[in-house]
Amino acid sequence: MDNSADQPAAAGASGLEPQPPSQRAVAWRWLRAAGLALAGLLLFWLLAWAGLPPLLKWQLERQAGAALGRKVSVERVELKPWSLEFELRGLRLLDAQGQGEQFTLERLYLDLDARSLLRLAPVLDALEFDRPHFRLRHLGGGRYDVDDLVARLLKPEQPASELPRFALFQLQLREGAIDFIDEPLKRTQQIRQLKLELPFLSSLEAQREAKSEPSLSFLLNGDPVDAKALLQPFAQARQGEARLHSAALDLAPYLPYWPATLPLRPTRGQLEFDLTLRLAAGAPKAQTGADAKPAQQPAMTQTALSLAGHLGLQDVELEWAGERDGASAAQPMRLRWDRLRFDGQTRLGWPIGAGQGSPALELEDSRLQVDGLALCEGEQPQASLARLLLSDAKLDLAGRSLAVGELRLERPELQLQRDAQQRWMFERWLTALLRKSDHLGAGTQGGTGPGPGRQAGQPGEPEKTAASTAAGQAGQAGQTIQADQANRDDKAAGWQLQLARFQLADGRLGFTDRSPVRPVRLQAEALQLKAGPWSNAPQAQQALPLELSLQLVPDKTGKTGQADSHAALRYQGRLLLPSPAGDGQAARSLASQGRLELDDLPLHRLEPYFAAALNLELLRAELGLRAQLSLSLPPQGLQLALRGDAEVKQLRTSQLEPAERLLDWKSLGLRGLQIDLESGALSRLKVAETALSDYYARILIDPQGRINLQQLLRQPATASARAPAQTQARLEFGPISFVNGQVDFADRFIRPNYSARLSELSGSLGGFSNQQPASGPAGQAPELAALSLRGKVEGQASLALDGRINPLAQPLALDIQGRVDDLELPPLSPYSVKYAGHGIERGKLGMTVRYQIASDGQLQASNQILLKQLQFSDRVEGSEAPNLPIRLAVALLADSKGVIDLNLPVSGSINDPQFRVGPIVWRMVLNLIGKAVTAPFALIAQALGGSAEDFSQIDFAPGKSELDAKARARLEQVAQAMAQRPALRLTLEGQSDLERERRAYQQAQLQQRLLQEKRRQLERLGQASEAVTPPTAAESAELLAAVYRRADIPKPRNLVGLAKTLPAAEMEALLLASIPVDADRMRELALARATAVRDVLAGLGIDHERLYLLAPGGPLQGANGDAPWQAGVVLGLRSE
pLDDT at position 476 is: 38
Residue 890 has pLDDT above 80, yes or no: no
Instruction: Indicate the residue type of 916.
Output: R
Question: Each residue of 756-766: pLDDT tens digit?
Answer: 788 899 999 99
Instruction: Report how far residue 45's alpha carbon sits from residue 35's, in angstroms, rounded to the nearest whole number.
Output: 15
Q: Do both 171 and 228 map to the same domain?
A: yes
Mean pLDDT value of segment 626-652 = 93
Q: Alpha helices of 364-497 — where are they, by DSSP H?
A: 425-444, 466-474, 476-491
pLDDT at position 914 is: 54
pLDDT at position 526 is: 93
pLDDT band at 683 (very low <50, low <70, confident <90, very high): very high
Cα distances (Å, whole numbers) of residue 250 to 219, 225, 461, 875: 11, 11, 21, 96
Instruction: Report how far residue 684's alpha carbon sits from residue 661's, in angstroms, rounded to the nearest whole number.
Output: 33
Of 538, 556, 591, which marks where a domain is finished? 538
Instruction: Report how far residue 550's alpha carbon sits from residue 570's, in angstroms, rounded to the nearest whole number.
Output: 7
Residue 980 lies in a domain: yes
Instruction: Report how far residue 760's alpha carbon sits from residue 742's, in angstroms, rounded to the nearest whole number.
Output: 6
Instruction: Report how far residue 114's alpha carbon sits from residue 627's, in angstroms, rounded to the nearest whole number.
Output: 93
Q: Do both 960 and 1091 map to the same domain?
A: yes
Q: Alpha helices of 690-848 — where are they, by DSSP H?
A: 829-836
pLDDT band at 492 (very low <50, low <70, confident <90, very high): very low
Residue 325 has pLDDT above 70, yes or no: no
pLDDT at position 1053 is: 78
pLDDT band at 949 (very low <50, low <70, confident <90, very high): low
Q: Do both 1007 and 1105 map to the same domain?
A: yes
Residue bearing the bigger pLDDT, 453 or 833: 833
Residue 76 lies in a domain: yes
Q: Do both 184 and 100 map to the same domain?
A: yes
Instruction: Report how far residue 293's alpha carbon sits from residue 160's, in angstroms, rounded to the nearest whole number.
Output: 11
Lowest mean pLDDT: which of 35-44, 198-207, 827-836, 870-879? 35-44
DSSP 359: -
Report residue 4: phi and psi, to 5°.
Answer: -65, -25
pLDDT at position 716 is: 60
Residue 962 lies in a domain: yes
Residue 444 has pLDDT above 60, yes or no: no
Give the residues across from 424 on adjacent strands: 418
Instruction: Report how far residue 1120's alpha carbon sits from residue 1123's, in angstroms, rounded to the nearest whole number.
Output: 5
pLDDT band at 708 (very low <50, low <70, confident <90, very high): confident
pLDDT band at 454 (very low <50, low <70, confident <90, very high): very low
User: Which of 79-83, 361-365, 409-413, 1030-1034 reaches the highest mean pLDDT?
Assistant: 409-413
Residue 22 has pLDDT above 80, yes or no: no
pLDDT at position 687 is: 95
How much of the chain exceeds pLDDT 70, in percent? Answer: 76
Residue 10 has pLDDT above 50, yes or no: no
pLDDT at position 36 is: 77
Map residue 1016 onto helix, strand or coil.
helix
pLDDT band at 486 (very low <50, low <70, confident <90, very high): very low
Lowest mean pLDDT: which of 346-360, 384-398, 888-902? 346-360
Map residue 368 onto helix, strand or coil.
strand
Residue 429 has pLDDT above 70, yes or no: no
Q: Do both 208 and 269 map to the same domain?
A: no
Instruction: Report how far residue 645's alpha carbon sits from residue 688's, in angstroms, rounded to the nearest whole number.
Output: 9
Q: Do both 366 and 504 map to the same domain?
A: yes
Asked if 939 and 893 count as a contact pair (C-beta separation under 8 A), the reply is: yes
Q: Do both 992 and 1127 map to the same domain?
A: yes
Average pLDDT, the chain: 77
Instruction: Report how far residue 353's alpha carbon sits from residue 479's, in angstroms, rounded to the nearest whole number.
Output: 11
3-state secondary structure labels for all residues of 800-864: EEEEEECCCCCCCCEEEEEEEEEEECHHHHHHHHHHHCEEEEEEEEEEEEEEEECCCCEEEEEEE
Report residue 907: phi and psi, to 5°.
Answer: -145, 155
pLDDT at position 329 is: 45
pLDDT at position 648 is: 94
Instruction: Report how far residue 996's alpha carbon sits from residue 1080's, in angstroms, rounded to the nearest whole number.
Output: 15
Mean pLDDT value of segment 662-678 = 93
pLDDT at position 644 is: 96
Instruction: Report how far residue 551's alpha carbon sits from residue 567's, in angstroms, rounded to the nearest whole number.
Output: 6
Instruction: Report how far residue 281's alpha carbon sits from residue 265's, in angstroms, rounded to the nearest whole number.
Output: 38
From the list 199, 202, 203, the residue with the least C-alpha distance to 215 is 199
3-state secondary structure labels for all residues of 393-409: EEEECCCCEEEEEEEEE
Of 513, 538, 563, which marks where a domain is finished? 538
What CATH number is attached to the domain comprising 953?
3.30.1330.60
Q: From the CA atom positions of the chain, what is the Rg in Å?
A: 64
Q: Do both 996 and 1110 map to the same domain?
A: yes
Residue 350 has pLDDT above 60, yes or no: no
Residue bearing the bigger pLDDT, 397 or 570: 570
Residue bearing the bigger pLDDT, 880 or 97: 97
Contacts of 443 by beta carbon, 8 Å cutoff, 6+ apart: 261, 449, 450, 451, 452
Residue 951 lies in a domain: yes
Q: Do both 271 and 193 map to the same domain?
A: no
Mean pLDDT value of segment 604-628 = 88
DSSP 481: H
User: Which of 33-42, 295-304, 544-553 reaches the highest mean pLDDT?
Assistant: 544-553
Q: Do both 978 and 1107 map to the same domain?
A: yes
Mean pLDDT value of segment 220-245 = 83
Residue 900 lies in a domain: no
Residue 248 lies in a domain: no
Of 519, 538, 557, which marks where a domain is finished? 538
pLDDT at position 487 is: 47
pLDDT band at 290 (very low <50, low <70, confident <90, very high): very low
Lowest mean pLDDT: which of 271-280, 398-407, 528-537, 907-916? 907-916
User: Which of 16-25, 104-113, 1028-1037 reaches the highest mean pLDDT?
Assistant: 104-113
pLDDT band at 293 (very low <50, low <70, confident <90, very high): very low
How much of the chain exceeds pLDDT 90, in percent? Answer: 15
Residue bearing the bigger pLDDT, 1072 or 594: 594
Question: Each residue of 198-217: pLDDT tens digit?
Answer: 888 887 877 777 788 899 99
Lowest mean pLDDT: which of 32-41, 60-69, 293-302, 349-358? 293-302
Asked if 757 and 743 count as a contact pair (C-beta separation under 8 A), the reply is: yes
Instruction: Indicate the residue type of 107.
Output: R
Mean pLDDT value of segment 774-789 = 77
Question: Each residue of 996-1008: pLDDT tens digit?
Answer: 888 888 888 888 8
pLDDT band at 1030 (very low <50, low <70, confident <90, very high): confident
Number of domains into which the chain is organized: 3
pLDDT at position 714 is: 73
pLDDT band at 1088 (very low <50, low <70, confident <90, very high): very high
Instruction: Indicate the residue type of 604.
Output: H
In sequence order, what DSSP letters do the residues of 304-338 get, joined into one string? EEEEEEEEEEEEEEEEE---TTTTS-SS-EEEEES
User: Which of 16-25, 301-310, 834-843, 904-913 reaches the highest mean pLDDT?
Assistant: 834-843
Asked if 336 and 371 count as a contact pair (C-beta separation under 8 A), the reply is: no
Lowest mean pLDDT: which of 481-490, 511-520, 593-602? 481-490
pLDDT at position 299 is: 45
Residue 351 has pLDDT above 60, yes or no: no
Asked if 262 and 273 count as a contact pair (C-beta separation under 8 A), the reply is: no
Question: pTM for this one?
Answer: 0.64
Q: Do both 226 and 266 map to the same domain?
A: no
From the list 172, 175, 189, the residue with the least C-alpha distance to 135 is 189
Instruction: Report how far residue 557's alpha carbon sits from residue 651's, in angstroms, rounded to the nearest whole number.
Output: 17
Q: Do both 230 and 317 map to the same domain?
A: no
pLDDT band at 50 (very low <50, low <70, confident <90, very high): low
pLDDT band at 666 (very low <50, low <70, confident <90, very high): very high
Residue 367 lies in a domain: yes
pLDDT at position 921 is: 59
Residue 863 lies in a domain: no
Domain range for residue 415? 260-282+303-350+360-432+495-538
